[in-house]
Structure 1
């Protein structure tokens, strides 16, 4: 019989510390779920206690139907999926050009990309809004998608550029010998090979578009029916007070798809980064 090896004191301390840190990390979400099942006075009256006196499931029904979060959920889904598709296509195309071709002003262009990468979103919201208004897309889903996905997307573009730069040129030459044109080479050969970067861009863009607040707020001020989940949180704040229990329930509804995406795609996300590093 093999004897079980006793953990060393250092290992025990490490496990205990990790368990404590894990509990501290999970506790805010657990408190949010608990608050969504309490009344507003109970939230503040019970402090850090997670157990409600009687679960108030009607908070979720009120947030979903009465406040209109069902509409906000549909809006957010449409905008997020459209933004992800737009960002992947345009970032991959721009990254392919930067990574595979040499042209005059390339280094200057990359430098400008890096400069704009550090600009806060608020600096560009006015020109983006004016341009979208001139295109007559200000109060539409397409306008929000263009506002979120047609910007610089510097990080995604540079990720693609770095990946495409490392691929051997023989891949393109072989495809051209078979009669493939530039777009066929890109969409049938190069883009499928860049799946590690595509997976990373999809996940990061999804999280960004699902949770972004400022641009959808500005674009939907005159049409509340186009609000996203993040913007819809403001309906719980009124002149006479704040519906904290309804807001907590709405926040849980907003977080469920994000958590589901993370649980389903976490392995692909890790594999995509590992594949990108290997390249």
Structure 2
């Protein structure tokens, strides 16, 4: 038998015997399975609160406390979602939240992208001072800015309106978003700008037609960050809708389930699931761009 034949026999013997589950193979793969088991357990602990909330949204008030940490309801009660949607007004709150969040995201993306582009590509007097002030505002708690924001909005007649809420949420520094764009635009070759300028592109045309389309990963990252912050904002929407309950967002609308003497936990859980589903879906759609955007900015 030739060497080729011996090799073929050995290979076929290994396929026939298939020693995958021998003790030696298990011992060699044991660290991998331990890591996988640990990660699976950590992932379960991470998503368990969401699973419990989903389970509580399908239980009645007594079963929420009687079942303890159990996840399976005895009889799913879908009326909790109908009660949250109609009686608690979460249909209106969802519409308000979508309007406020979408408009705020658009304003923040355009404003932060333009600010990051100017700070990254242009040298002018006071540039370092502006960067220093922006970074310093990272250490200012959000609660300290509510009073001046409310005072300005009241003087402008925008306190009890969705437009005032949008301007208040989008008018902050958003330093992290500006720095992400700044770090990305620094690495873009200047030849692209020079070629666009030779073709007659002005500042706005250069920015919106060349630079902004190139920053899709960063834009997705900033979009997701701003979406999460605006969707979950509580203090500013609470102040702007204090005398106008019809302007409440989802986070403020949770107060509808809190009474003077009791709390509707099953209804609140159903409302929380409704408010979290858009966030989860958006993150699933943008997670690849989110990771790429963070990685691209960190390289700087």
For Structure 1 versus Structure 2, the TM-score category normalised by the shorter chain is: over 0.9
Is 2:208 the partner of 1:187?
A: yes
CA distance in 1, matches of 2:30, 2:187: 47
Give TM-score, length-normalised by structure 2. 0.89
Which residue of 1 is the match for residue 173 of structure 2? 152
Structure 2 unaligned runs (5+)?
A: 1-11
Which residue of 2 is the match for residue 98 of structure 1? 119
Task: Tell me if structure 1 keeps the 8 A contact 2:184–2:296.
Answer: no
Counterpart of 2:48 in 1: which secondary structure? Answer: helix
Counterpart of 1:191 in 2: which secondary structure? Answer: helix
Measure how far apart 1:276 and its partner are: 4.1
Task: Tell me if structure 1 keeps the 8 A contact 2:108–2:226.
Answer: yes
Q: Which residue of the other structure, out of 185, 208, 212, is the alignment partner of 2:229?
A: 208
Measure how far apart 1:17 and its partner are: 1.3
Counterpart of 1:242 in 2: which secondary structure? Answer: coil
Measure how far apart 1:240 and its partner are: 2.3
Greater shift in the superposed pair: 147-156 or 16-25:
16-25
CA distance in 1, matches of 2:237, 2:88: 18
Which residue of 2 is the match for residue 61 of structure 1? 82
Measure how far apart 1:95 and its partner are: 0.8
Counterpart of 1:51 in 2: which secondary structure? Answer: coil
Is 2:189 the partner of 1:168?
A: yes
Counterpart of 2:158 in 1: which secondary structure? Answer: coil
Measure how far apart 1:265 and its partner are: 2.0
Task: Tell me if structure 2 keeps the 8 A contact 1:196–1:276.
Answer: no
Structure 1 unaligned runs (5+)?
A: none
Task: Tell me if structure 2 keeps the 8 A contact 1:159–1:197.
Answer: yes
Which residue of 1 is the match for residue 291 of structure 2? 270
Q: Could you say what the CA RMSD is over the residues aligned between the two structures, in angstroms?
A: 1.5
Task: Tell me if structure 2 keeps the 8 A contact 1:36–1:246.
Answer: yes
Larger Cα Rg: Structure 1 or Structure 2? 2
Measure how far apart 1:90 and its partner are: 0.5
Which residue of 2 is the match for residue 141 of structure 1? 162
String of CA shifts for 1:14-35, please: whole Å, max 9, x gaps.
Answer: 1221121121112111110111
Give TM-score, length-normalised by structure 1. 0.95
